[in-house]
Amino acid sequence: MREAKIIENKKVLVTGGAGFIGSNLVDVLLEQGNEVVCLDNFATGKRENLQIAFQNEKFKLIEGDIRNFEDCNAAVQGCEYVLHQAALGSVPRSIADPMTTTDVNIGGFVKMLFAAKEAGVKRFVYAASSSTYGDHAALPKVEHIIGNALSPYAITKYVDELFAKNFSDIYGIETVGLRYFNVFGRRQDPNGAYAAVIPKFVSEFMAHNSPIINGDGSYSRDFTYIDNVILANQLAAITPTADFKERLKNYSEGIGKTYNHESTISEVFNVAFGERTTLKELVEILKGTLSKFDPEINDVKISYGPNRGGDIPHSLASIEKANKILGYQPKYDIESGLTEATNWYWKYLG
């Protein structure tokens, strides 16, 4: 099920549009009749993710790099909104190669943001990350309370937030950061050293191999289905400036902070479902959904390994700010999201 039309008849740039989240955004925006430009260098993205988009005459692919200002500039011309998804994801990747992650996630981010400002883009919506909460133990996570970063990746995503705020202050471009919490769904890559836990476990169950849980399975995450993320991006782009400011004022007063009405919009929001699921519960739900396609999956044993360095025990978002200011109400909980996701994996990988 797709959301009602909300971004319509606009020209939108999706960076990282060949990736998991970006390609899903591209498809929905095209379905809604928008003109969509995708800037991607296929570092982790795939051409096959753009199969539907390539059939649409309102779609344009610019194969280029966000570290190259000319590419950013060419891509953003005439766009009203930018949905900036391009980055090198994965905490372990950033620990193995902090230099490339920093070049792309900070250097590329600044180039894209500056190109957007130069081109007169109305609002720059970007993928931030729950990793910004770092070692702060409080649950649920609220946007204005963060801890120390635990990885180069987390630092890059937090630095992006600082640049976004600063560019809003000095140049006046509106910026909205969306701190995604463990996103999952169709097209998320199950392969490779840096695969996320849900697609990795799905492909292991499908091959009748034991999924390995890092630790005793008690760690928990606020797993977020892709369509909730698409909804949040659209709301972040189209919420009118005046409404945004008014609601932000009320929200800020509610949490005892002052908000300067004169300032340009520059905010960050948690994007999640707002519930946490342990890894043990996750594998049981996955087993249940996948056994409907292949009953032998019921007999696949779960293995346990050591905890992974840098992993925080628990993650859970407060989605109150996104709800109050953007009107964000996620439709998919973990069960309904996993049902959709496993249907997709079975159809395309089964």
Ligand X SMILES: NC(=O)c1ccc[n+]([C@@H]2O[C@H](COP(=O)([O-])OP(=O)(O)OC[C@H]3O[C@@H](n4cnc5c(N)ncnc54)[C@H](O)[C@@H]3O)[C@@H](O)[C@H]2O)c1
Check whether the bond before 152 is cis (ω within 30° of 0): no
State which residue, 20 or 297, has the beta carbon closest to ligand X. Answer: 20
Using rule CB under 6 A, residue 185 touches ligand X: no
Of residues 7 and 14, the one with the C-beta less far from ligand X? 14
Least distance (Å) between residue 115 CB and ligand X = 12
* Count helices and strands in the chain by DSSP H and E runs: 13, 13
Cβ count near 2 (within 10 Å): 11
Q: Which CB sits closer to ligand X, 37 or 300?
A: 37
3-state helix, strand, coil in the chain (%, to 5): 45, 15, 40
At its nearest, how many Å lie between ligand X and the CB of residue 262? Answer: 30
Q: Is 152 in the site for ligand X (CB under 6 A)?
A: no
For position 18 contacting ligand X by CB under 6 A, the verdict is: yes
Q: Out of 44, 101, 102, 175, name the contact with ligand X by CB under 6 A.
A: 44
**Residue 18 or residue 149: which is nearer to ligand X going by CB?**
18
Of 93, 80, 55, 71, give the one whose Cα is nearest residue 16: 71
Cα 28 to Cα 219: distance, rounded to the nearest angstrom: 33
- How many angstroms separate the CA atoms of 10 and 275, rounded? 34
**Cα dist from 243 to 45, 195, 326, 346, whole Å:** 35, 39, 9, 42
d(Cα 28, Cα 38) in Å, to the nearest integer?
Answer: 13
Work out whether 116 is an interface residue with ligand X (CB under 6 A).
no
Neighbouring-strand partners of residue 221: 277
Both tokens assigned to 186: 């169709």
Annotated catalytic residue 126: no
The least CB distance from residue 10 to ligand X, in Å, is 21
Cβ distance 271 to 178 under 8 Å? yes
- Among residues 7, 28, 104, 316, which is the contact residue for ligand X, using CB under 6 A? 104
Asked whether position 67 contacts ligand X by CB under 6 A, the answer is yes
The catalytic residue among 81, 126, 153, 219 is 153
Residue 125 interacts with ligand X (CB under 6 A): yes or no: no
Q: Which of residues 227-256 bind ligand X (CB under 6 A)?
A: none
**Of residues 13, 36, 108, 244, which one binds ligand X by CB under 6 A?**
108
Site for ligand X (CB under 6 A): how many residues? 28
Cβ partners under 8 Å of residue 28, min gap 6 = 2, 3, 230, 234
* Residue closer to ligand X (CB basis): 41 or 318: 41
Per-residue tokens: 206: 């499908």
Q: Reduced to 3 states, what is the DSSP secondary structure of residue 82? A: strand
Choice between 7 and 86, CB closer to ligand X? 86
Print the binding letters for residues 69-98 with ligand X: x by CB under 6 A, - otherwise: ----------------xxxxx---------
Residues binding ligand X (CB under 6 A): 16, 18-22, 39-45, 65-67, 85-89, 104, 108, 127, 129, 180, 182-183
- Please give the positions annotated as active site: 153
